[in-house]
Chain A
Amino acid sequence: MKWMGLLLCAVFAFTYAPSARADNDLQGNPAASSVYGQTPDLGTVRSVSVGGQEVRALPMRVGNLDILSPFTSSLSSLGASASQVNPSNLPKGTPHSQKNEFFQLNIAGQRPIVLQIGKATAYVDGKSKPLLAAPLLMKGQIWLPVFSIAPLLGASARVAPDGTLHINPTVQSVRVFKVKGTLTVTISTSAPIPDGKILMGTTDNPPKIYFDFQGFSMGFNANGSTDQQTVSAGKDEIDQVRAGLFQSFPDTTRVVLDLNKPMQASVQPMPDKTLFAVLLVSPGTAAATVSNVDNAPTGNGSMKGLTIVVDAGHGGHDSGAPGKKSVEKNHALDIAKRLKNYLQNMGAKVLMTRDDDTFISLEGRVSYANSHKADIFVSCHLNSYTGSSAGTETYYYTSQSKNLAYEVQRSLDAASGLPNRGVKSARFYVIRHTSMPSVLTESCFISNPHEEALVMQPSYRDKLARGIAQGIANYVKKYR
């Protein structure tokens, strides 16, 4: 009996708390943790692996505080990128002569992390954070302090027994909620999940559903800990949600749904690849088709009876602003189409000034909106200026449009994660001559390589469209 009990415990530990085995190894090695401010044991490090890919350059030991490695070119596997600093993100009082010492790490949907060569401080949203070591510039490459930077990216940095320093994206959070009466679970990660990197399994007794995120370490604000933990309280048929590091080096994080009764999971396609969503239904029941589970703007049905004209800027021979790899008119149309879908889902009647690559004059756009007696007019644009100009802004002209502009900009800013250039009044033709509340959005600067790279991602354009839709929904709720 005693042996049976031990065996059951061992089976449980392997299946649902595998991290407990790894914890013992990790806890004995401070360098295995990415705990902010801890001094890792640097002596054991022989190589660096980012997102499962080994970085050829050797790590450099610096002052026994952190390990520096030139892994900026591998940041994409952590859902980040490095670029020259946007002037608006520079710390206050920075002399112009020092501008070139700064650069920034960009993470979709978040404020950039601003760093300075030779200074052990990071600036995030105007606040400074100490680093264990300063980034360095050597032979034209930026060397980043791994243990300092990883937590800022939501990533994990741990040293394997073979001396490889693994920098991995992490599983960040789990939400349990209901959409139209259907139990829904969303799991967010710090970087986009590559196709085929999630495995789903089920057991009926006890009833559980689990998901293995291959190549992802533990996040959950665990400060580098790999202990299994309850990451979400239950709801209805879900008793609780736990997570643990199922496998180390390479890492796999397992998320387990403890159920009160057997359920069937239906994975939902998500435009945002950092989000994984499943619907839970009783076995034999067809899963409801709910798209964009977590992403749908609130306020469904609140726009019934409203006519909204969505105007995709430019078109046809008028390409709009050029980027290095794309042009404004195509992104504007895509965002406008996505915006249309969101607004329609909220009950609005949506008309588009163009739904293909056609040139429409400014007068034609205004005439279309006025003749259809639209209640709201939204013109979708992307801005362009220099490579370093950045951010979102929303324009209005008439006083009746001001509240709409502020609501749209607030939501667009939150969705984009870009610098907020605010709301401004300007005499753009389409918002000056339309007779209803009208705004013109500039979702980003296509001339900025980082922002162009973002807007070239469909998931990011969806975020922008969702932000604009949410702003309109907030305006309707508050002011109409």
Chain B
Amino acid sequence: MTQDNSNNFRPLPVILMVVILAAIASGGWWLKTHRPTTSANAVQINPPTTPVETSDKKSISLTLYIPNDNAMLEKHSVKDSIGSSAHFADLAKNACSLLQEKAPDNFPKGTKLIDVKTKPDGTAILNFNSKFNDSSFWNSSALALMGTYSIVNTITAIPADDFKAQQVQFQVEGKPIVVLGELDVSDPLKPETQWVQKN
């Protein structure tokens, strides 16, 4: 009797082939999803980190006393972007610049705040350039009062971390000045509410 083996089914090689193919396919998928890539469609997975600030600046609100047409001061709040801490000198310079920008007719042209110093008694010493003391500019009471007290009221309202101004002393080129127009500014000026517009 003769035995024909041509039609015999051998499953083992087939199973092995399937297993190998499956292993190759899953390996490709793993590499695709786990390998770092620069492709535009790639999903970036960042390693976990502790939170940090993306910028070293913060915002603070300044109160500006801006003269109106009727020679009265109006309060305006503006946001000022500052460093990580609110230093008085920086804020004072910013506030003076904003006053000059928003009420340019109230200060002699070319006026510049050179530096700001402080004293333990709450005095802020503002040192301006020589343009500030142009006697021909300060020719009326209203102008002298508006120019002076817009600065004094604004500076004493600055919410700084390192200093709270109670009064303002004016200097020009590092030297004290006696008068602005006919207004005696020989010693520090405290803020005044009598020129602030009532709502």
Contact = CB atoms under 8 A, between A and B. Distances in A.
Contact of A428 (B141, B189, B195): B141
A449 B119 CA distance: 45
Nearest to A445: B142
B77 interface: no
B186 to A, nearest CB: 9
Interface in A296-339: 313, 319-322, 328
Contacts, number: 71
A362 B178 CA distance: 11
A389 interface: yes
Contacts of A424: 194-195
B184 A87 contact: no
Interface in A58-96: 86-88
Contact of B142 (A88, A385, A388, A429): A385
Interface string B170-199: 000000001100111100010000110000
B139 A384 contact: yes
B182 A362 contact: yes
A384 B141 CA distance: 7
Given A384-B142, A384-B143, A428 B70 contact: no
A429 B185 CA distance: 9
A313 B143 CA distance: 16
A433 B189 CA distance: 16
B69 interface: yes
A19 B190 CA distance: 66
Interface in A411-427: 424-427
B141 A440 contact: yes
Main secondary structure of the interface of B (DSSP, over half): loop
A112 to B, nearest CB: 14
A26 interface: no
A432 B139 CA distance: 18
A322 B69 contact: no
B134 to A, nearest CB: 13
B168 interface: no
B81 interface: no
A273 to B, nearest CB: 29
Contacts of A226: none
A430 interface: yes
A323 to B, nearest CB: 11
Looking at A426, A429, A440, the one whose CB has the most chain B CB atoms below 10 A away is A426
B180 to A, nearest CB: 10
Contacts of B179: 362, 429
Given A362-B182, A389-B69, A389-B70, A426 B145 contact: yes
Contact of A384 (B69, B140, B184, B194): B140
Nearest to B143: A385
Interface in B93-131: none
Looking at B139, B179, B185, B189, the one whose CB has the most chain A CB atoms below 10 A away is B139
A16 interface: no
A358 interface: no
B140 A321 contact: yes
A426 B141 contact: yes
A386 interface: yes
Contacts of A429: 178-179, 182-184
Contacts of A313: 182
Interface string B132-151: 00000001111101100000
Contact of B140 (A87, A320, A425, A426): A320
Contact of B182 (A319, A390, A430): A430
Interface in A399-447: 424-430, 432-433, 440, 442, 445, 447
B71 interface: yes
A393 to B, nearest CB: 8
Nearest to A327: B139
Nearest to A390: B70
B141 A381 contact: yes
Contacts of A386: 69-71
A315 to B, nearest CB: 13
Given A385-B146, A389-B69, A424-B194, A442 B184 contact: no
Nearest to A446: B140
Contacts of A319: 139
B140 A427 contact: no
B190 to A, nearest CB: 10
A432 B184 contact: yes
Nearest to B194: A424
A388 B72 CA distance: 12
A103 interface: no
Nearest to A314: B139
Given A426-B183, A427-B184, A429-B179, A388 B141 contact: no
A395 interface: yes
Nearest to A427: B184
A383 interface: yes
Interface string A344-387: 00000000000000000010000000000000000001011110
A67 to B, nearest CB: 35
Interface of A: 86-88, 313, 319-322, 328, 362, 381, 383-386, 388-390, 395, 424-430, 432-433, 440, 442, 445, 447
11 contacts: A86-B70, A88-B70, A313-B182, A389-B71, A390-B70, A427-B183, A427-B185, A427-B189, A428-B182, A428-B184, A442-B142
Closest 3 CB pairs of A and B: A384-B140, A385-B142, A321-B140
